[in-house]
A and B are shown apart, each in its own frame.
Chain A
Amino acid sequence: MTNANAVGAVAVIGGGIAGVQSALDLANSGYRVYLIESKPSIGGVMAQLDKTFPTLDCSACILSPKLVEASRHPDIKLMTYSEVTGLSGDAGNFTLTVKKKTRYIDIDNCVGCGDCLAKCPKKVDDEFEEGLSKRKAIYFQFPQAIPKVVTIDPDNCLMLKNGKCGNCAKVCQRGAVKYDLKDEFEDIEVGAVIMATGFEAFDPAILESYRFDHPDVVTALQFERYTNASGPFAGHIQTSKGELPKKIAFIQCVGSRNPEIGKAYCSSVCCTYAVKQSRLIKDHHPEVDVAVFNIDLRTFGKGYEEFALRAQDDGIRFINSRPSGVDVKNDGALSLRYEGSESEVVHEEFDLVVLSIGLQAPKSSVRLAEILGVALDKYGFVKTDLETPTETSRAGIFTAGVAQGPKDIPESVAQASGAASKAGALLNEARKSLETIAEIPPENPIGDEPRIGVIVCRCGTNIGGVVDVPAVVEYASALPNVVIAAEEMYSCADDTQSRIYDMIQDYKLNRFVVAACTPRTHEPLFQQTCQEAGLNPWLFEFANIREHCSWIHHDEPKNATHKAKDLVRQAVGKVKYYTPLYSQSLPLVHNAVVLGGGVSGLTAANELAENGYEVDLIEKTGELGGNVKKLQSYKARLDAIIQKAESNGKIHIHYNSMMEDVSGSVGNFRGKIMTAGKPVKELDFGIIIIATGAHELKQPGLFGYEDNPIVRTQLEFKEMVDKNEGGFKNVVFIQCAGSRNDERPYCSRICCTNTVRNAIQYKEQNPDAEIYVLYRDIRTYGMYEEQYTKARESGIHFMMYDKDEPPAVTGNTVAVHDRTINLHFSLDADCVVLSAATVAEAGNRDVGPMMKVPLTKDGFFMEVHPKLRPVDFGTDGVFVCGLAQFPKLFEESVSQAQAAASRACTILSRDALLSPAELSSVDESVCVGCGACQDVCPYHAITLEEKTVTQKGLSFKAVRSVINPAACKGCGCCAMSCPTGAIDQSHFDNVQLLSQVKSVFYFEEEVN
């Protein structure tokens, strides 16, 4: 599969969360990445979201670091506001033509100060705020846009349209506005392409009955902005009259599960986001009545069902009915028409109606697919096969995220990593061929006495318009150890960097302070300048006098100036105690262990091997294949995967084996492979993927299971159906058997889809059979909805039962209360199929502690972040995939296994591990070995070890804390917990922080 002449670069089309994830994984695995985004900024729809379910994490908080990381990565080239217009060549050697739309801005000169925005007279609807507020014709897509450069909207710019105005060019002190710029085209050479083009939100205007024209009928995406603290209403939920709505309705499946408008699929995410939005309303305003109108409530993801249960506890009404429409009364009030529990028509008034709009393929994807030569399905999503969920119809072009079909963020991220793994494997020969190798100039000797240089930035008028910058410069010059202070119009501009360079040289500076904007975006730039000038980058400190001063004290210039001086003094106070820091290079073993030989484990092993790494695959039973090995219908697919693993020389399969006694950390694990209870191999390995699977619940007595011969589980039934056995006349499926109950509150996710698939298969084999499906909510998400529709069309009966009134199986009858029509039935059955819960392996309780990774209360492995790091753990170098993480379908397991492999490749592909520079360290002469640090460290980076300590000339053995630099992430909680001060966090050490705190205060007499 590899190509000796391949290009070691990948184009990722789409800068949403999926594209960014693919880009980061690839760039961190030794490839150059072109990240192509049609909008002015990367970030995609996730940047617009308020909170994310089920953790209610702030979306911006978790997304921004990824975006910043992508923008700073030396091997990721951002091509924003750009579109792909052509493709030639083949897998391994593509040439992609990219149109770089002009922003009418010389982006090398724009520093993102935003002075131009203030002077632009033209206001237009803000797309980022979903039209709820206005932006200017020259604009940032959103405040944290990356790259932080402005764009002129040519359709609205008065200058471009009429040749009148030109304010922005006049006000720009950098001369960055250039109205005569033209679009440019660039050809890029890449080995592979990943299409992660995301989705468009469904436009509800075409569903006229929902009255989207009314100002109080809003889309869920708009509602994200309603609840967002930085949204147009500062997080205050309000009607168009500006009042808090008393009643809010959510209408589900707007633009989903609707074949009439060509959207027969389920958008997968709307139910849970509606639950999330409802809960956010209730959080702030418990008194507001919230009703969610749904056909089935599809909260099928990990933790989502529990999330919805809490919503019910919050008093949110879930109504199993799809309103036929929204009526606008004469006084403008909104009323919903829907079918009540007694099949009567109910009219209910609401103050605000939120349409839970679905996800649809972007219109532009048709054209893009033509250019790329990849096939789309009938809805415009990228077509893939079950066993290759990240591969398009064209070799070398991969896909991820909603571009491939509706899915939520964790699956998009997993698939994005999976696509990265496939692209990486394809280009393995060319890995690192285009990688940037940073050249670091030698460092100047720093001497003893701090010699500090200070730059105070005016940032155009942003700072200079409020803060008396010359006064701050004068003040700074007089501070102890400050050798030189100067002001700059734009400290981040290129020409300023060369002046900083000269200043460091001319004045022999050994510390540097910039008082400007926020370190969160600009610190790396100045650190780099320092580094180029021979100054260790950790001898630099930032004072934030823009975001934290001029911008928020606009009307108090005197106080702002006073504060700016304080902030500079604080920075000087801290920087003088800075010391040079260096990353440590730690050895790394370049091979992997995969626990579990099911579909996930096999796929992960295959991916790793194709990416060039040795893998020890450890299977506890005597054969490979896991849950699907008995199923005829998966045989061909499974055999192909097994064959691939068995024939790959890099994969070493251990049957009847376990991993035990694991020690060490990322890059350097060591463990014992036990085969049939005996140790057979002591193994060093760099990473480990946990793919230990899960199993179907076989609970005696559950609906008569094991007592009643007609009752069998889904897998048992599937095994029969695959063999065309059975011959039953009346088959009754019972959903949620052992799931969504008090013992196992989670939804097992896969059972509904398996039921409709198996029911259809059985119906096709036995057209005369009567098939009933007794369910609570049918959760055939995504494209599986088509199967559900097909099942209904083929005459399979669906009956909804209530949790509190489950069906009863007695002999050959199943009694059920159909809650939709409120009737009791007694069904004949010669086969009852239990959609039994998927339950975690008991062995997880051993693996978890061994690998220092946590489990959920249901016994599945708990990834470090359910949204953006779905296969990672807090313990580096340990990954999870497949059913060990949560129940999932075959194709989802495949893409998650690929993801785990991709994440592993970001470690294995490095020559050595580099620790972060700002770690904690231990002073052994002060440490007493009390272990307080060990207890609080969330990364298990601290151990207590017996060491020979020399103190006052005496050497003795004592227990001391030892920090593993490979595991430490630099949070510093150990430093806080240490009673002796033996542990300290570099760059934020006690002396530095205390000096910074003390510098806040001074006596009047000390001033000048």
Chain B
Amino acid sequence: MSEVKNTAASSCASSGEFIPKIVMFCCNWCSYAGADGAGVSRFQQPANVRVVRVMCSSRVDPVHIYTAFLEGADAVLITGCHIGDCHYVNGNDKTLVKYKFIKSMLKEMGMEDERLMLRWISASEGQQFAEFVTEMVEKVKALGPSPLRKEGVV
């Protein structure tokens, strides 16, 4: 890879230490609000997660998840309202069904299936959000880079 020109990026990449990059899908009504709540309460968490907001976790297409992995995500997290609390009646139930499939698929592909996680986080669970992020970053650090991660991606 060519020389690093960007200071912020180099600070992360140049040390040679593995810095996980995690894509997280958050439903607008619960988990995104939970993430906001974590912010409001200043629950500190590692800066490895990039949130993609969707209206409902059931919008998250396997294609989005695969793309994230193929692009080089070390983990993909999906979060939504607790079962029974879905803003759209039963979106999270449907998410759960799809999740089961994708999880099984990753496993069969020979990836660590922990790289995909689904968690229900409500708007008031800022703490849980921060804990989940922290826990996942630790887990991914232990797993090491995703086998699909391309060299040089920051």
Chain B residues with CB below 8 A from A56, complex form: 82, 84
Determine whether the beta carbon of B73 is less than 8 Å from that of A1000: yes
Given A552-B43, A1001-B72, A1001-B153, is A988 in contact with B7 using a C-beta cutoff of 8 Å?
A: no
CA separation between A864 and B87, bound complex, in Å?
10
Distance of A165 from chain B, by nearest CB (Å): 24
CA A332 to CA B73, docked complex, whole Å: 55
What is the chain A residue whose CB lies nearest that of B68? A997
Whether B104 is near chain A, meaning CB under 8 Å from some CB there, is no
B59 touches A1003 (CB 8 A): no
Q: Map CB proximity to B onto A935-946 as digits: 1 under 8 Å, 0 otherwise.
A: 010110000000
Q: Decide yes or no: A234 and B91 within 8 Å by CB, A475-B6, A555-B44, A971-B55 being known contacts.
A: no
Tell me whether A994 and B50 are in contact in the complex, defined as CB-CB below 8 angstroms, given that A558-B8, A565-B8 are known contacts.
no
Q: Is the CB of B88 within 8 A of A938?
A: yes
Q: What total of A-B pairs shows CB separation below 8 Å?
A: 223
Q: A58-B125, A520-B28, A1004-B4 are in contact. Are A144 and B40 (CB under 8 A)?
A: yes
Q: Which B residues lie within 8 Å of A560 (CB)? A: 47
Minimum C-beta distance from A121 to chain B (A)? 19
Residues in A with CB closer than 8 Å to B135 are none
B140 at the interface (CB under 8 A from A): no
* CB-based nearest A residue for B76: A997
Residues in B neighbouring A234, C-beta threshold 8 A: 127
**Pick from B81, B91, B124, B130: contact of A60, CB under 8 Å:** B124
* Minimal beta-carbon separation of B98 from chain A (angstroms): 7
Verify B50–A570 contact, CB threshold 8 A.
Answer: yes
Chain A 543-580 interface 0/1 with B at a Cβ cutoff of 8 Å (1 = within): 01011110111111011111101110010000000000
CA distance A1005 to B2 in the complex (A): 6
Inter-chain contacts of B85 with A (CB < 8 A): 55, 57-58, 61-62
How many residues of chain B have a CB within 8 Å of chain A? 74
Interface-located stretch among A336-344, A834-842, A972-980:
A972-980
**Which residues of chain A are within 8 angstroms of B56 by Cβ–Cβ distance?**
971-973
B22–chain A nearest beta-carbon distance, Å: 9
**From residue 111 to 148 of chain A, which have CB atoms closer than 8 A to chain B?**
143-144
Contact in complex: A55, B30 (CB < 8 Å): no
Q: Are B153 and A1003 within 8 A (Cβ)? A: yes
* Cβ contact within 8 Å between A230 and B47: no
B30 / chain A contacts, CB cutoff of 8 Å = 58, 61
Once the chains bind, are A567 and B59 in contact (CB under 8 Å)? no
Give the chain B neighbours of A973 by CB distance below 8 A.
56, 58-59, 88, 91, 94
- A969 interface hit (Cβ, 8 Å): yes
Residues of A within 8 A of B41 (CB): 143, 230
Instruction: Write the chain A residue with the least CB distance to B54.
Output: A988
In residues 1-59 of chain B, which contact A (Cβ within 8 Å)?
Answer: 1-2, 4-13, 21, 23, 28-30, 32-33, 35-47, 50-56, 58-59
CB nearest to B4 among chain A residues: A1004
Shortest Cβ distance from residue B7 to the other chain A in the assembled complex, whole angstroms: 7
CB within 8 A of A971: which of B53, B62, B91, B130? B91
Query: What residues of B have a CB within 8 angstroms of the CB of A969 in the complex?
Result: 88
Contacting residues, chain A, for B68 (C-beta < 8 A): 997, 1000
Contact residues in A for B12 (Cβ distance below 8 Å): 558-559, 562
Question: What CA separation (Å) do A435 and B21 show in the bound complex?
Answer: 49
Interface string of A915-939 (1 = CB under 8 A from B): 0001000000000000000001011
Taking a contact as CB atoms under 8 Å apart, the answer to whether B73 and A556 are in contact is no
The answer to whether the Cβ of A453 comes within 8 Å of any Cβ in the partner chain is no
- Chain B residues, Cβ within 8 Å of A985: 55, 59
Smallest CB gap from A563: residue in B: B47
Q: List 9 A-B contacts (CB under 8 A).
A: A475-B8, A544-B36, A565-B8, A971-B87, A972-B59, A973-B94, A997-B71, A1000-B73, A1002-B154
Give 7 nearest A-B pairs by CB, closest first.
Answer: A547-B39, A972-B59, A973-B58, A971-B88, A938-B89, A1007-B6, A58-B122
- Extra 5 A-B pairs, beta carbons < 8 Å, given A57-B85, A520-B33, A570-B52: A60-B33, A549-B47, A971-B55, A1001-B72, A1004-B4
